[in-house]
Structure formats: C-alpha cells, structure tokens
Structure 1
C-alpha cells in the first residue's frame, strides 16, 4: 500500500500524511533515551514510506534533534524535517521565549544538531505572551527569505494568534493536539486551516499511547513520565478511557478487521488536510502503518465512534496540562 501524501506550501515535495513524532526519542518526560532503538525506529519509519519527521529542541533539550540528524545521515534529501522554535529552558524546566535573539540562537543550534543547512518546516512551539506575535513572525520571515527555512508553521496557536502571524509572514502549517478524545480544534482551528490552505499536523493522535490498545488498568507510569501528569491516566478517568478504547477496538475489528491504533490514525486522516504525528521510540511501535492508509471512515462510522465515546467517557478532559509557563 503506497503512503498517502499532502502538499505543504514551500516544501518541494509532497510529504507523507503520517509523520514520525520524536518527542519520546529525546527521553525527557518519557523515561530516558535509548539512541540505538531510536535510530532504528527512524530508519524503520523511512522504510515504511514516512517522509516527514517532526522534532523540537526541547525534546530532550537538544537530544532528539541530535538523534534525528544522526539517523538521517545519507538520507537527508529524501526527508522533510519539521522542528520548532520559541521554548527555552533552565535547570531542565522549559519556558516560552520567542524573542528574535532566541530565534537566531535556536536556528543555528538546530541546524547544527540536525546536520543540515535548512529546516523544511519551522514552527513556533508555543505562543509567547511576553513577545508580540508580529515581532516573532518578522524574525522568522527573515529566516525564510535567507533560505534557512522553507516553510513556516505554528503550534498550539489560536485562530486570532494565527491571523496576527499571517499578517506578517507566510503561514503554511499549524500543529495542535488532536485525536478522537481531544477534539477542541474542530470548533475553530480546523475549519480556519481548511479555509486558508494550511496543513494541520495533529500531535498526539494516539493520545499519548492510550489509543495504541496496549494499556491496561495495571499500567503504571513513573514520575518522569509525561502521563503521570495527565488527568486521563488517573482514576476515575483512566477506567473510562480504557473502556472506550476497548469498545473502539471491538468496533475496529468487527467493522474493518483492523486495530484500534489504525482506527485512531485513520480517524485523524479523515478529518481534513491533516497529518498524523505517530510518536515512537522503538521500531515495534511504528508497526501497523499500512493498516491506517488506503481506506476511509464513512459518516456512519464516525457517528458510531462518537456514540462509543459518549457512552463510556462521562468526565472528558483535554490536553491543557501540557502547556509550559510563559517566560
């Protein structure tokens, strides 16, 4: 089955609609890194047809970018690299910093770690309330003109913030959290992106592993694991979400003979000009991509998914816990 692709304006080739997300590869908030498995994971993703890799400086405080750069040696021109800008850190704690000076420092650090002369998609990681958006956008537009960046994007921005950015610099993509459980963008960001021709890079399409189908009520998360701070993974909500996943798994098997993981990715891909960021840190975690492509969900299928969620999740919660503090 050939990979589905999508055009992001500014990138010279269509990119795969499933991208590899590398937050966990950095190790921070995911129990530490394993570079050998991480590089094998990236190579496996490329072999399966993935041509877009998403990373960020804050993922392991530079470590994820370094691993991506190492893994792409000899294959750089066949892959689009998406990374981010606008987060700083001190003593292992990230905070927002989207000043022009920080942007200039970050671009050079990212280029060095990624072993490349340009970033295909450069995204503001979080809006910085202490820096005017037009100031951030203007500096990024300079990088775009200089050829260090081929396309610009934003992550975790509201529609109003994207309008401000777009008034100063070309905007090709937005990256919000989006999965069958976390759907806030459907009211504004997704339709706005459709109207303005933006690609939507959906992060967390498997909801931090919840939709992988591998978790049980006995699954435990360490204190250095992101999920230990996510209300979905604590009682009483964890039981509700696990029940929904079980029901979705039954639906996926009976209706399509596919896994709940494939169903979750397919659902994201069927929502619009979307790209699903499939996060993985081990080669086996990237298995099953072929099950997610080459088919679609009908309106009746989507309605049944909504009924399953309503039946099992009585106390839903969004991804708000992930927001870092301002500078």
Structure 2
C-alpha cells in the first residue's frame, strides 16, 4: 500500500481509503453490522488506515459501526477518521443541507459520541450549502480546530469558486469530489484547482457504484431503496453502453494481472491531482481486493486505448448529479 502525508494530520495516510456509505445500509439495500465491523478491522490490519464516513450514512449507523470497530482495534493501529456534516434529516427521511454554525455544533458532538472519539482527524462539509456564507461555515470549523475537536478541515462536492470563498474563513486541507473512469467532471477544474493550491483530494465513487467491478450484466437488478435504481447509468440503453465499456476494459486490466476494480482504482490514483481514492465495501473480501490498487502504473499506450474505448462506447457520459441532496 502506498501512503501520503495529509496536511494538519500527523500520520501518513494510505492512498486507498475505506468508504462506509454502504455500511449504513441506507440507499444500498441494507447491510450487516457484524460484517461491516469485520471489514473495517481487516482493512486496518491490512494497512488501509483512513476511514471515511458521515452521519447521513444510515442516519448515524455507519458512524456507530466505525466507533465499535475502533474500540475493537484499540490503540495499536494509527487510524485516521474522516467524517462530515451539513446534511440534516427528519423522521420521514427527508434530507436538506444545513451548514450553519449552530448545526455544526450539534453535529460535531453527535459524531464524536457515535465514533467514541475526543478529536476527529478530518471534518468535511458534505455538500455546499449556499444559504449560509461559506466563510461563515469555515470560521465555525476553525473554532472547532482551535478547541481541539478536529485536526484538519475539508469540503466535499465543492467547486473552485466555492472553495475560494470558503478559504476566507479557514484554511482548507482537503476536498472530496466524485471521480472515476466514467464520471470525470472533476478533471475540468476541481482537480487542477486542488493540485495548484495544495489541497488534497479524497475521490469517492472510484468504482462507480459497482459498475467498474465488472460483476454486473444486462439482467442485474437492484432491490427497492438501492441508489442504483435512481442512477441513469443503470437504466436501459445507458446501462448497455456502460456494460459494453466494462467488457472492453477487462482485457487491459487482465494484462496487468488486475481485476477491473483494482485497475479502475489504479487508473484514478495515477491521475493528476488525485491524492486518495475511497473504496466502498461491506465484506472483508471486497476491501482485500483494494490492496492491489497501488504500487503499479498504466502505460501511455494503454491510457490512450482507455480513452478510445470510452469515447467510442460512451459518447455522452452521464455524471453523478442525481446524488445531490435538496438545497431547500
């Protein structure tokens, strides 16, 4: 496993991090808590030492699972915990953005309690909330940092313009954009901006919600409540085109002795401006596969072949916009 240094965090961090959205069960057809805990413990034992979570993942469930896992691991492993704030929900499961200072104060205490921590390594704004001035949100995080409740400050799904405004209130250490072989909007401005300004990136969705595992086919269906039932890429002719691209990418991955998932993560790690990729898993065998994502590179010839495949099979790529929560 390759490691990098993250600003404001006194530990080297693995370039593959464990994402825990699926562990919360919400929007992923449920999850098994014991398997999730085992996955986290094994990931850390195998050298993946950054775990990314959020309150909205299962409405607190994923953070609780991370907290239980940390208790099992004890102090023998230097784990970096990244969580988020800024999405609130009601009893009907309706979600809206709220990054007000009052909401931040409420969320930090709830997250610390669920995670069983006194300090969170990386605290991130989950989605930009334009109802609250970004510098006001940033300043509230700066105060938390001064109080020792957090170490590093991050954002997620922020544009360069939004990051500029945010930095008026506090230093910005990380951004978490969606990025994978099929969803590459971040290449236009987010990754270049972060690279230029020394902002580390934790790219989520590296396997494009399982599409880049190569395990789906035209007959694959998803249960009620599964996020992929809402994703246009998994529907009709779109699904066929993406599956065709997957089949054409598999031989290139095999050339490197890699599964398609490992190849997709390795490709992302080789792109300019990418610091860390987040690999979602709910079973130990899924995260074990992630260990083969670092320590190798893709040739220029094969990179060109990948671009040709994508251009020919997916002339009009579909982004991840469907995931954005309400701004109301």
TM-score category, normalised to shorter length: over 0.9
- Structure 1 partner of 2:191: 190
- Structure 1 partner of 2:74: 75
- Structure 1 partner of 2:157: 156
Shift of 1:168: 1.4
- Structure 2 partner of 1:112: 113
8 Å Cα contact 1:87/1:96 also seen in 2: yes
Q: Deviations over 1:43-89 (max 9, x none)?
A: 12112210000000000000000000001114356100000011101
- Structure 1 partner of 2:146: 145
Q: 2: CA distance between counterparts of 1:210 and 1:281?
A: 16
Q: 2: CA distance between counterparts of 1:298 and 1:99?
A: 47
Q: 2: CA distance between counterparts of 1:143 and 1:126?
A: 19
- Structure 1 partner of 2:235: 234
Gaps of at least 5 residues in structure 1 are none
Residue correspondence of structure 1 range 44-83 to structure 2 within 5 A: 44-73=42-71, 74-75=73-74, 78-83=78-83
Gaps of at least 5 residues in structure 2 are none
Q: Deviations over 1:222-276 (max 9, x none)?
A: 22000000000001100100111111111111x3121111110001110134201
Q: 2: CA distance between counterparts of 1:311 and 1:235?
A: 18
Q: Give the 4+ runs in structure 1 shifted more than 3 A.
A: 74-77
Considering only aligned residues, what root-mean-square deviation do their CA atoms show, in Å? 1.1
Q: 2: CA distance between counterparts of 1:250 and 1:207?
A: 19
- Structure 2 partner of 1:249: 250
Shift of 1:297: 1.6
Residue correspondence of structure 1 range 198-237 to structure 2 within 5 A: 198-237=199-238
User: How many pairs were matched up?
Assistant: 324
Q: Deviations over 1:301-327 (max 9, x none)?
A: 211111111121133200000000013
Shift of 1:123: 0.3
Q: 2: CA distance between counterparts of 1:75 and 1:175?
A: 28
Q: 2: CA distance between counterparts of 1:131 and 1:291?
A: 42
TM-score (norm 1): 0.97
Shift of 1:167: 1.8
Q: In the alignment, is residue 14 of structure 1 matched against residue 15 of structure 2?
A: no
8 Å Cα contact 2:176/2:201 also seen in 1: yes
Residue correspondence of structure 1 range 220-299 to structure 2 within 5 A: 220-253=221-254, 255-272=255-272, 273-299=274-300
